[in-house]
Every structure is written in structure tokens, then in C-alpha cells.
Structure 1
Amino acid sequence: MDNDELQAWVEEISLTHFGIPFRHCAKFNSRLRTTGGRYFMKSHDIDINPHQLTAFGKEEVEKIIKHELCHYHLHLAGKGHRHRDQDFKVLLKRVKGSRYCQSIPGSTARRTLPYRYKLICTSCGMEYLRKRQMDPKRYRCGKCAGSLKLINL
């Protein structure tokens, strides 16, 4: 499927499920990794992750398109278009869009750094593990407000 077919598909979904035409641009964006789609509030365009189409098929991508169209139509109508807004939740449920996209199999999660530093309170002995180095003179213990000592692990 190319961008022209995606554009026609989004316009069709918008008319059949929302009753309002989609008048902006929809395209694939292969740089999307952790999200199924994205709605741009300034340009009102929609990007769709093509990896979702290859991994899960048209049914899952249709749910993602409905999700992004909920953002689109609610934003243009001046209603609550964010994930936490009741207008968004109600419309998404009505059109049977997906709340979250599935993670793509084979994609690796971001590598997390190991804890390399430990802060120890000199008064109560409370320990704080840190991944990045910090200046202990600028902070106090959250439990007793004692001074902190930095140790490399």
C-alpha cells in the first residue's frame, strides 16, 4: 500500500464512521517506532506507522486510523481531543478505534542504563540508587533532611 491508497482509505473511514470528510494529508512514516500513528495539530495531517500494517494487517491499522481521526475531528470541532478527555474516550469507543497500538514483534526495547551511583544519607542511612552522577551537596535526604554521600558502584 502506498500513500495515495492510504489517503483514500482514511477519507473513506472518515466519511463512513464519522460522517465528516477528511480534508488534509495522511501518509506513512517509517520512522515511527513506538507509536501506531500521529496527528499534527498545526497542519492537521496524520502519519501512520507502516510497520503496523506489515505486522498486524489492515484491521489493526484501521483501528489506529480511527484513533487518529478522533483526534482530528474533535480538535477541529473545538472539543476535548486529548487521550484523557471524556469527548475523546466516548468517540473512540463509539467508532471502535484502538486505545493503544500493539508493540511490533522483534523490535527491541530501549536499553536502560545500570545503576552506577548510590547516595547514602549520613544521618539515617537511607540509600538512593542513581544512573547519573549528581552533586550531593545540592540535595538532602527525603526522609530526614540529612546530608548525602555519593558512592560509585
Structure 2
Amino acid sequence: MTDEQLQALVIQISQQFFKRPFLHQARFNHRLRTTGGRYLLQSHDIEINPKQYKVHGLEELIGIIKHELCHYHLHLQNKGYRHRDQDFKKLLKKVGGSRHCKTIDGMRTEETVKYSYRCERCQQLYLRKRKIDLQKYVCGKCSGRLVATNLKNELQQL
């Protein structure tokens, strides 16, 4: 699917489900990694993760477009466009948009995990994006002491 085809699909979904025109740009953004799409507040454009379409198909893509169009139309009407707002929740339910996108293999594992820690007492494994202060934090399961481990070895064992 090209950006032009995506633009046409967004315009069609906007008319069909929201009864309002979509007057801005919709495009694929290959740099999106952990999200299905995003609505840009400044330009009012919508960006979609093309991997979602390639992996999960048209139905998932339509759910993501509906979600982003909820942000779009509510923001332009000066209503609650954030995820926590009741206006957003009601409109999303009404049009049948997806609340969360499906994950793509590799989307949240090796690409984002940089550190691993293991509890000395119960052996609970913690994978993290950011380094944590081992003097400050303890195991959430048994309150045991955490130690840094070799990330590559931990990922191979999974």
C-alpha cells in the first residue's frame, strides 16, 4: 500500500464512520517502532506504522486509522482528544476503533532491552530499557537484592 492509497483510505473511513472530512495528510512512517500510529497536534497529520499493515493486515490498519481519527476529529472540535478523556473513549467505542495495536515480534524485546537484572533470592528476571540503581531498588516479588546479569545470556535462555 502506498501513501496515496493510505490517504484515500483515511478519507473514506473519516466520511463513513465520522461523517466529517479529513483535510490533512496521512502517511506511513517507517521510523515508528512501538506504536501503530500517531496524530500530530501541530500539523494535524496522521502517521501510521507500515509494519502493522504488513504483519496484521487491513483490518488492524483500519482499527488504527479509526483510533487516530478519533484524536484528529476531537482535537479539531476542541473536545477531549487524549486517551484518558471520556469524549475519546466514547467516540472510539462508537466507531469501533482499536484501543491498543497488536505487537509485532521483536518490537519490544531485543530492540529495546539493554539491561537485565536477576533477584539473588528468588531468581526473578527483570529486563529494562534503562539502567536502575541497585542500591535503591529490590525485587518486587520477594524484596531480595538485585544483581546485574549478562543480557545476551538472559535473552538466549528465553
Report the TM range for the smaller structure's normalisation: 0.7 to 0.9
Mapping 1:107-118, distance limit 5 Å: 107-109=107-109, 110-115=112-117, 118=134
Quickly say closer, same or farther: Cα 1:74–1:114, change in 2 above 3 A.
same
Quickly say closer, same or farther: Cα 1:53–1:117, change in 2 above 3 A.
closer
Q: Which residue of 2 aligns with 1:20?
A: 20
* Per-residue deviation, 1:113: 1.5
* Per-residue deviation, 1:118: 3.8
1:119–1:127: 8 Å Cα contact kept in structure 2? no
Q: Which residue of 2 aligns with 1:119?
A: 135
| Separation (CA, whole Å) in 2 of partners of 1:24 and 1:64 | 17
- What is the letter of the counterpart of residue 114 of structure 1? S
* Per-residue deviation, 1:69: 0.1
Mapping 1:1-40, distance limit 5 Å: 1-40=1-40
Q: How many residues align?
A: 126
Of structures 1 and 2, the larger Rg is shown by 1
- RMSD of aligned alpha carbons: 2.2
Q: Which residue of 2 aligns with 1:60?
A: 60
> Structure 1 segments of 4 or more deviating over 3 A?
114-118, 126-131
Unaligned runs of 5+ in 2: 118-131, 137-142, 149-158
1:119–1:130: 8 Å Cα contact kept in structure 2? no
| Separation (CA, whole Å) in 2 of partners of 1:127 and 1:24 | 53
- Secondary structure in structure 1 of the residue aligned to 2:68: helix
1:14–1:69: 8 Å Cα contact kept in structure 2? yes
- Secondary structure in structure 2 of the residue aligned to 1:119: coil
Deviations 1:116-136 (A, max 9, x none): 86428xxxxx987597xxxxx
* Percent of pairs with identical residues: 55
Q: Which residue of 1 aligns with 2:103?
A: 103
- What is the letter of the counterpart of residue 135 of structure 2? L
Q: Which residue of 2 aligns with 1:147?
A: none
- Secondary structure in structure 2 of the residue aligned to 1:38: strand
Unaligned runs of 5+ in 1: 121-125, 132-153
Normalising by structure 1, we get a TM-score of 0.75
* Per-residue deviation, 1:88: 0.1
Q: Which residue of 2 aligns with 1:51?
A: 51
* Per-residue deviation, 1:107: 3.5
2:34–2:108: 8 Å Cα contact kept in structure 1? no
| Separation (CA, whole Å) in 2 of partners of 1:98 and 1:17 | 14
| Separation (CA, whole Å) in 1 of partners of 2:71 and 2:39 | 7
- What is the letter of the counterpart of residue 68 of structure 1? E
Normalising by structure 2, we get a TM-score of 0.73
* Per-residue deviation, 1:86: 0.2
Deviations 1:32-51 (A, max 9, x none): 11100000000000000000
